[in-house]
Amino acid sequence: MPADYHTHTPLCLHAEGTPEEFVDAALAAGVTEYGISDHAPQTPEPFDDWRMKLADLPAYQEWIRRAEDHAAGRIPVRCGLECDWLDGCEPWIRELAGMHDWDYLIGSVHYLGAWDFDNPGKIGLWDSKSVPDVWEAYWNAYAAMAASGLFDIVGHPDLVKKFGHIPEGDLARYYEPAIDAIAAAGCAIEINTAGWHKPIGETYPAPGFLELACSAGIPIVISSDAHAPAEVGRDFAKAKSVIRAAGYRETLLFEKRARRSEPFD
Ligand code: ZN
Ligand code: ZN
Ligand code: FE
Ligand code: FE
């Protein structure tokens, strides 16, 4: 079974569980490594209500330490952050990168300008938007995020479809520039199984994106995006068959921002 590197903690104010429960759940799910990647602090504070504060970083490190204690060598515990890609964020990401000996950093696009388009509380804003325009802005941001070279993994590639907003026609016109940027930067993507539990009812990214990514030589990890212990490693068997069908045979393991690949069968 692959590692699960995309999980959250209650410090982000919309997740639940204890470090001990998450470790037990990772062991029960059979994932090979438990990676913690909570929503990173963002300045200026207060920024929004779904992330840890800068002042929470010591508590985050304490969470990681408790997880390592409870794991007691039974499963490797890795730590990172899920960082937001925002206009002009590069200096802040570099600062965050230096705040701890992270194993990996995940970059995610949740914001277009001031709009966190995947926030269920902001879903009404979609009504005033053109879906193709939102998609174009989203994928431009996504490609810029990958090209920054600041992230080991780029998160939930087509999150913009979360509530079912999808333009007409072949979506490859959106995927291809992002895939070129990801491949050129040498970062990994994730297949994020949480999408199966959202209105879209499909993994992020869609199978069509995965095939193009595999052909472009982009490596992959499987992620649950768990916000509760029961979600760790959720649907990983199904996810393996989806990425296998797209051509993948290996996933990545991360430690101290170095990676190696391992067959997942
Ligand atoms: Zn979250
Ligand atoms: Zn650590
Ligand atoms: Fe996310
Ligand atoms: Fe997440």
CA distance 43 to 30: 37
Ligand nearest to the CA of 80: 2
Residue 124, pLDDT > 90, answer: yes
Residue 71, pLDDT score = 98
Judge whether 103 and 257 are in contact, CB under 8 Å.
yes
Q: Is residue 1 part of a domain?
A: no
Kindly state whether residue 5 falls inside one of the protein's structural domains.
Answer: no
CA of 216 from ligand 3 middle (Å) equals 24
247-257 confidence digits (pLDDT tens): 999 999 999 99
Q: List pLDDT tens digits, range 35-67.
A: 999 999 999 999 999 999 999 999 999 999 999
Centroid of ligand 2 to alpha carbon of 68 (angstroms) = 9
> Does 224 map to a domain?
yes
Q: What is the pLDDT of residues 94-117, one digit of tens each?
A: 999 999 999 999 999 999 999 999
Between the CA of 39 and the centroid of ligand 4 the distance, in Å, is 7
Token pair 């890609």 is at which residue? 85
Distance from the CA of 168 to the center of ligand 3, in angstroms? 25
Question: Distance between CA atoms of 223 and 189, rounded to whole angstroms?
Answer: 10
> What spacing in Å lies between the alpha carbon of 194 and ligand 4's midpoint?
9
Q: What is the pLDDT of residues 177-219, one digit of tens each?
A: 999 999 999 999 999 999 999 999 999 999 999 999 999 999 9
Instruction: Give pLDDT, residue 123.
Output: 98
pTM of the complete model: 0.98
CA 195 to centroid of ligand 2, rounded, Å? 28
Q: Identify residues whose C-beta is under 5 A from ligand 3, the ion.
A: 108
Ligand closest in space to the Cα of 156: 3
The gap between the terminal CA atoms of the chain, to the nearest Å, is 8
Residue 2 inside a domain? The answer is no
Q: How many independent structural domains does the chain possess?
A: 1
Angle between helix 131-147 and helix 172-185 axes, rounded to 10 deg: 10
Confidence (pLDDT) at 265: 84
Residue 96 lies in a domain: yes
State the residue range of the domain holding 200: 10-263
Q: Residue 91: which pLDDT band, with cuts at 50, 70 and 90?
A: very high
Alpha-carbon distance 180 to 103, whole Å?
25
Query: What are 18-29's pLDDT values in tens digits?
Result: 999 999 999 999
> Domain for residue 125, yes or no?
yes
Phi, psi values for residue 45, rounded to 5°:
-90, 150
Q: Among all ligands shown, which has an atom nearest to the Cα of 50?
A: 1
CATH label of the domain that carries residue 41:
3.20.20.140
